[in-house]
Amino acid sequence: MNSIIIEDVTVDDRRLECIYKVSGDWKRYFKENGTFFIEYEKEIDGVPKSIAVIPFLCNILPLVWMFDAEVMIDEIDKEFFECLEDVKQGYINMYPGVSFKGRVTPKKLMDNRQEDLDKTAVFFSGGVDAYHTLISHIEEKPILVTLWGADITFEDQAGWNLVDQHIRRIADQNKIDYAPMKTAFRRFLEEGALSDHVFKLTEDNWWYGYQHGIGIIGHIAPFAYRYKIKTVYIASSLTKEDNTTCASDPTIDNFVKFFGCQIIHDGYEFSRPEKTNRISEYAERTQTQVQLRVCWESEGGSNCCHCEKCYRTILCLIAGKSDPRDYGFHYTDDEFAGMMKDFKMKLHFLDKTYFVVYQSMQKMMRKNYKVNQLDQNLRWFYRADLLKEQSFMKRLPYRLIRKGRNICKKVMPLFH
């Protein structure tokens, strides 16, 4: 039988730690050390164990349900425990072909409900989705919450320093608080092995399809208890029209609750081009300098301007008649020509689910420009039939080119 015993939960000043013991076949999906931790910049002393355990639980629940495991624990927040079946149902609805069973077995349910909660917070990475959520709720003066360990590794200190300084400037600019958290939530599971397992079931990877969303949300529970936070916003990554699976979804996120604190999956009604357009309008209206950080592939915390996500955001900004170089994307005109050539190649290898974004982007571009008003390196995108670009015959030449490049990369070192 698969099980996990949470042996101890400690809160010491700014550090939270969970010690656990895993048994059963699913043990191979956990790293060996049996410790999960978060380091908060602000003090979290006085947080009860029934709440301090929530971050760890949120990061193992999809695993528990998928492998029909049992979590044994001394105590848990009553409202959080009571929301778990609704959260599980979100996964069941998203992945009807997967069996979600498993259970959490606490010895005690603790009623931690607080009636004097009055603050708000927003998970903030600096990207389009997060920035859109921030400006949508800027009047609420939300606390910015950023996780070191989500996309920036502990080893990339320079990259984290850049991100940390960037978000501190945004917080100072808007006269709001900032609460970074250093977290092991992507270090205690065998993420690669889990991705291999779930890909066979749903063609998703572990992070994006299962852990992302609830795994992030859990971090706020101890902090929200300590600092009286009533509402927490997590920005949507997709819209209903995207018709794809992602663990951060309103059918999951909006059902997570603890001690009177409510999670809101924000911005689901806006497409990515609409979000970038609203950010640009906000920047113009308020004369605010907005620097976006969207790249998850670049070491150093900046935008690489060569990955699909950077290309997507650059094109969204251009479609909305904004200059991406005013928003944290640094490239020359000559580099842009090479970038668009590379993007044309990448476009033929994208998952079809992304094409909804590119179609809405193209629609906005056609609304805002005549073709001869665009940089000549973008005119092919303006004119393209994106559905035809996904056809086998359109993809074939690009597949052959990519295969040839990969062969060259392997062969060339043999001649040195």
**172 and 128 in one domain?**
yes
Domain stop point among 206, 235, 266: 266
Determine the Cα–Cα distance for residues 411 and 416; give it in Å rounded to an integer.
10
**301 and 286 in one domain?**
yes
Domain range for 80 is 3-119+124-266
**283 and 257 in one domain?**
no
**317 and 181 in one domain?**
no
**233 and 142 in one domain?**
yes
On whether the CB atoms of residues 259 and 79 are closer than 8 A, the answer is yes
Number of domains in the chain: 2
**176 and 298 in one domain?**
no
- Following DSSP, what letter does each residue of 109-154 receive, concatenated? EE----S---EEEEE--SSHHHHHHHHHTGGG-PEEEEEETSSS-T
**137 and 59 in one domain?**
yes
**287 and 238 in one domain?**
no
Residue 187 region, left (φ>0) first, then alpha (ψ -120 to 50), else beta?
A: alpha
On whether the CB atoms of residues 124 and 145 are closer than 8 A, the answer is yes
> What is the value of pTM for the model shown?
0.89
Domain stop point among 209, 235, 266: 266
**277 and 262 in one domain?**
no
Domain stop point among 250, 266, 282: 266
Local confidence pLDDT in tens for the 416 residues of the chain = 999 999 999 999 999 999 999 999 999 999 988 899 999 999 999 999 999 999 999 999 999 999 999 999 999 999 999 999 999 999 999 999 999 999 999 999 999 998 899 999 999 999 999 999 999 999 999 999 999 999 899 999 998 999 999 999 999 999 999 999 999 999 999 999 999 999 999 988 999 999 999 999 999 999 999 999 999 999 998 887 777 888 899 999 999 999 999 999 999 999 888 999 999 999 999 999 999 998 866 766 789 999 888 999 999 999 999 999 999 999 999 999 999 999 888 886 776 667 778 888 999 999 999 999 999 999 999 998 887 766 544 554 545 555 555 555 555 555 55
Give tens-digit pLDDT for 93-123. Answer: 999 999 999 999 999 999 999 889 999 999 9
Sign of the C-alpha dihedral computed for residues 366, 371, 376 and 382 taken in this order:
positive
**336 and 194 in one domain?**
no
**301 and 242 in one domain?**
no
**278 and 261 in one domain?**
no
